[in-house]
Structure 1
């Protein structure tokens, strides 16, 4: 018999709310079986949820997570998925580097504005 999980099992294990899991189900990213009102999740659903959560932690959008998950193909060694993941990582790094530069520039502008205000008040 294969292992299955309830929504509360997954929520507890992955430290998310059941509402979060239902949201990903509503988005079509998780497809649990139904037994009446009860959702029955498979090990694949568990892995998918872990991948979604990891992707969100590193700043991927939900559509980017879905794109990567949809590429899952263990028969082919997941090569296309992994190559696309590397591309997405490089894109995310570039975005973060640009954001860091933008923040540093804003800090310089704040320093300049602060200095001018202090000089105008005669405090420097």
Structure 2
């Protein structure tokens, strides 16, 4: 972590990769997608705190199942008006949609688990019958 004349913290790609346990290639990919925008000094990328925060939000969003396009949309809303209620309303809408999808997936998984339980029970019963038949 380095500081410049304005006392704003800056980071190298290696520092961010280590901090967030991701590869430098992943960080470069997020840059290619215009999600973060480091400055350049020669061939070196210099990331500021805004880039670091955005990287943290991208990774959190991915864990929650949000796409990079959804993250980019939120960043654009924030950039156009940092205090916008529209950004919060959009985020609420996105979380409601994500929650609905996850609840449906949970119901589907519970149904499949029940079906697996039934198949397993039938297999065990048939196997027990076969073993009893061989003993006779």
TM-score by length of 1: 0.87
Look up the match of 2:67. 61
1:76 is displaced (CA, Å) by 5.0
* Counterparts of 2:103 and 2:122, CA distance in 1: 29
1:8 is displaced (CA, Å) by 1.5
Moved more, 110-119 or 8-17: 8-17
Runs of at least 4 residues of structure 1 off by over 3 A? 73-76
Of residues 19, 31, 39 in structure 1, which corresponds to 2:45? 39
- Aligned pair count reads 123
TM-score by length of 2: 0.80
Structure richer in strand, relative to its length: 2
Moved more, 29-38 or 67-76: 67-76
Of residues 11, 16, 36 in structure 2, which corresponds to 1:5? 11
Deviations 1:71-119 (CA, angstroms, capped at 9, x unpaired): 1148551321111111111111111111110011001111111122222
Alignment gaps of 5+ in structure 1: none
Structure ID, larger Rg: 2
Alignment gaps of 5+ in structure 2: 1-5, 132-136
